[in-house]
Amino acid sequence: MKRVLVVGSGGREHAIVAGLAKSPQKPEVICAPGNAGTGTIAENVLIKADDINGLLSFAIERKVDLTIVGPEAPLCDGIVDRFRAKKQRVFGPTAAAACIEGDKAYAKKLMGIANIPTAEARVFDHYESARDYISTRETGVVVKAAGLAAGKGVFVCKDPAEALLVVEQLMVQRSLGEAGVKVVVEELIKGPELSIFAVVQGQTILVLDSAQDHKALGEGDTGPNTGGMGAYSPAPIATPEVLAFVEREVLVPIVDAMRNDGAEFSGLLYCGLMLTPGGPKVLEFNCRFGDPETQAVLARLDSDLLELFEAAVDGKLEEIETRWSPKPSVCVVMASAGYPGKYEIGCAISGLGGAAELEGVSVYHAGTKSGPGYVVTAGGRVLGVTALGDTVADAQQRAYAAVDRISFKGAYYRRDIGYRAITTTGGASS
């Protein structure tokens, strides 16, 4: 029996563990550190995702056949390099390749070299220079912390005055710590967003089904950005023409540019795009599965997830064909009151069993922990309630029916996840 270790504790990792559990290969799955949800279908081990030494020692001691790294921080810290040095099979990019996410300034530079369509931007590592530049602008801009900020480092500023406040908070007050020491100031572009995942191994790129995330906290895409309040898959705006453009003009050039820069990519490459009136433009690249898009996408995967990961690690990705359910999915994130700011933890969660009993529903845990007979909140984003349906509208209805069965103190969620797809298609499957 193959033994697989999944590193991480969020909804993304629960979705990956659930996908592996469905593999016809019937692997033994371990999650470190995991959450209350992963603990019901896998073995949780109390090793933190950033404890690279502990994870490596565990993988060697337990004779793990394959390690899959979920979060970006250990990838940027070199977990793949360390595992490979000890001849451990591991899915994910090296630290050098993970810079595509870990350093937004580097990503912008590489996009320029590769002629990848993206918003015009300037990079600043001195507050005074950023302040002076923004003061010359007449319209709103997007300010991004150049480092890792757990999905909370992007600020869409409606005018230069707002941008000046954000830059001061990041660079002077250090509101995001070292992540905001350097900032990227971009032109403000508009259009619907699109998330594309691609499994990459060398020069082989396998594009997975699309998704659309809902980053903003409030309904109608209002309020501050979060790590993601929900997602659906596939996205109707991901037409064959758009997907062909993204593969030809974005994925192939960036993979080539990274290889030419000595940072060949292997693992999961996430591309966040905006479909502007002038065509698709890249907002960002990530070096791992997105959250909560992963929950929506993997809920629809009908082929063997373990086979996909192994093929990418073993250089056989060109032999893989993925199969997808024709049914769309909708994932609704239930968060703690106060997220993405301060929030309370340790609140009892009820109704999980009743929600999971509904047809087509999967409840992926994110910020949870469990004890004898109880499950409590343990993070900002607590659950990703995901449902399949005949249409996006049907999947949405099923997801919210499940959400309505779950309760915990201060539970917050948007009531409009999937609205763009329903407005575009009238709820029809695409």
Note the pLDDT tens digit of each residue in 341-377: 999 999 999 999 999 999 999 999 999 999 898 999 9
At residue 426, does pLDDT exceed 90? no
The C-alpha angle with vertex 154 and arms to 151 and 159, in degrees rounded to 5, equals 160
Integer angstrom CA distances of residue 373 from 165, 353, 411: 47, 12, 20
The predicted pLDDT at position 425 comes to 58
Give the CA dihedral 381, 18, 403, 330, nearest 10 degrees. Answer: 90
Using CB atoms within 10 A of its CB, is residue 53 exposed (0-12), middle (13-18) or buried (19+)?
exposed
CB 77 within 8 A of CB 147: no
How does the average pLDDT of the chain come out, rounded?
95
Instruction: Please give the order of strands across the beta sheet that includes 266-276.
Output: 204-207, 193-201, 266-276, 279-286
At residue 406, does pLDDT exceed 50? yes
Closest CA to 398 of 324, 328, 334: 328
CB 225 within 8 A of CB 155: yes
At residue 1, does pLDDT exceed 80? yes
Tokens standing for 162? 């707002």
At residue 430, does pLDDT exceed 60? no
Provide mean pLDDT across the span 159-188: 94
Element (DSSP H or E) covering residue 144 = strand 141-145
pLDDT in tens, 211-243: 999 999 999 999 988 999 999 999 999 999 999
Q: How far apart are CA 132 and CA 261, in angstroms?
A: 32
Q: What is the DSSP string of 345-375?
A: ---B-B-HHHHHTSTTEEEEESSEEEETTEE
The predicted pLDDT at position 110 comes to 96
pLDDT in tens, 6-54: 999 999 999 999 999 999 999 999 999 999 999 999 999 999 999 999 9
Amino acid at 424: T
Which domains are seen in the chain, by residue range?
3-94 (3.40.50.20), 126-181 (3.30.1490), 193-319 (3.30.470.20), 329-425 (3.90.600.10)
Q: How far apart are CA 428 and CA 326, in angstroms?
A: 11
Least confident interval from 385-394, 400-409, 417-426: 417-426
Q: What is the DSSP string of 80-143?
A: HHHHHHTT--EES--HHHHHHHH-HHHHHHHHHHTT--B--EEEESSHHHHHHHHHT-SS-EEE
Percent of the chain past pLDDT 90, that is, above it, reads: 94
Provide mean pLDDT across the span 381-400: 98
Q: How far apart are CA 374 and CA 182, in angstroms?
A: 43
CA–centroid distance for 329 within its chain: 16
User: Burial code of 283-298, b = ≥16 C-beta within 10 A, e = fewer?
Assistant: bbbbbbbbbbbbbbbb
List residues bridging with 123 in a β-sheet: 184
At residue 428, does pLDDT exceed 60? no
Element (DSSP H or E) covering residue 30 = strand 28-33
Per-residue DSSP letter, 415: S
CB 42 within 8 A of CB 64: no
Phi, psi of 207 (to 5 degrees): -85, 130
Provide mean pLDDT across the span 264-293: 96
At residue 304, does pLDDT exceed 70? yes
